[in-house]
Structure 1
């Protein structure tokens, strides 16, 4: 892996999980010293983070970690709905039945992961990531996949910056279960509707969460 990729992933993860909070100033020199890499890969990584919208120029020499306001959350979920409802419908028409049958089986146990510790909760989020990847593969549209990749990055940030809500997490697990079932069964209408409901409820929870809290459902 290239040094710039390593730096990018490290900084991105720290921004997403709140280790580097919104408003933090990032400079090439400081991050180069802290992470132990030369300024060139750090500069490249910061450029990619800027393109992602996770940081923005504060001056000619420094960048600042961007914030996520309520208006941003609303706009993000509007875009997610447009993209993910379409993706779910297409996946239902083009899916590998066995893959979504397996995911459906795994999501029947998702509530147990949600009620477990941090390790089990991370397994739940990994399972959601697997579902996203399976939908992307089923859809087979590189343009849609690229758009979804960007929106999911910011969704992860919203998820990690919002209050953990066990009840909402259990509800989201049930919603993912229904999405898997609809895609498995080739029911495009249900897949789209289930995704629509899931995103509407997730948005409401994200907007209701107090600032600087941790983890909600996506």
Structure 2
């Protein structure tokens, strides 16, 4: 498959910056997973990726090995190398970790976030009411959560959350696409911000954990619906 002109330009720009070729291949695959052009279950062939990215097979192989270590790529006995598909247990484990880490982040944020940072979170949340398209809501939701993580002011927690969210890419469509979920999520965000403003770490953690549990319920519903005849 021939790669697009924008991708060629991106590869050329990366070469000019001296970016390692294995890193270029890694970034390409990550972006393809995010964009949905390489959805979970897709078979991956080194030769195809090499042609699409415009790199030799060696850096592509190195990128795939790295992605396998990170759990984003798996070896299927029948299909070969594929983008990892999450089963029920994996989704449950992922959300259990997300609940714990995001709850901790909210608790830390209640203690360490500046007034300016909390005001920015409020601004992001208020913006939701003016957004209509799901893709815009998803983008704004990501901004809210990434800002909340940084408000915790803990570099090690931030690193763990970043790693977790790489695996979250495998979940596919956002739960915000479900009817009424965007409005409910906005209310949950507002409650978390209220707890931050009150400098109440226990309440902030509890509310953040509940927010993730609600998202998990929607995710499980979508997962089981996908198996309905």
TM-score after normalising by structure 2: 0.78
Alpha-carbon contact 1:90-1:188 (below 8 Å) kept: yes
> Displacement of 1:17 after TM fit?
4.1
Matched, 1:141 2:154: yes
Specify the alignment match of 1:77 in structure 2. 95
Aligned residues: 205
2:177 is paired with a residue of what secondary structure?
coil
Pair 1:184 & 2:197 matched? yes
1:51 aligns with 2:64: no
TM alignment of 1:49-128, pairs within 5 A? 49-58=67-76, 63-113=81-131, 116-117=132-133, 121-128=134-141
Larger radius of gyration: 2
Q: How far has the Cα of 1:191 moved from its partner? A: 1.0
Is the CA contact (8 Å cut-off) linking 2:106 and 2:208 kept in structure 1?
yes
1:32 to partner: Cα distance: 0.1
Contact 2:41/2:82 (<8 A) preserved: yes
* Post-superposition CA distance 1:105-133 (Å, at most 9, x none): 231231331xx23xxx3333333333333
Aligned residues: CA RMSD: 2.4
Q: 2:29 aligns with which of 11, 16, 26?
A: 11
Deviation (angstroms), 1:30 = 1.7
> Shift in Å at residue 74 of structure 1?
1.0
The gaps in structure 1 that reach 5 residues or longer are 213-218
Structure 1 residue 163: deviation in Å? 8.3
Deviation readout 1:6-39 (Å, 9 max, x if unpaired): 3323212322443223332212222101222222
Q: Where does the alignment leave 5 or more consecutive residues of structure 2 unmatched?
A: 1-13
Q: Distance in 2 between matches of 1:163 and 1:178?
A: 18
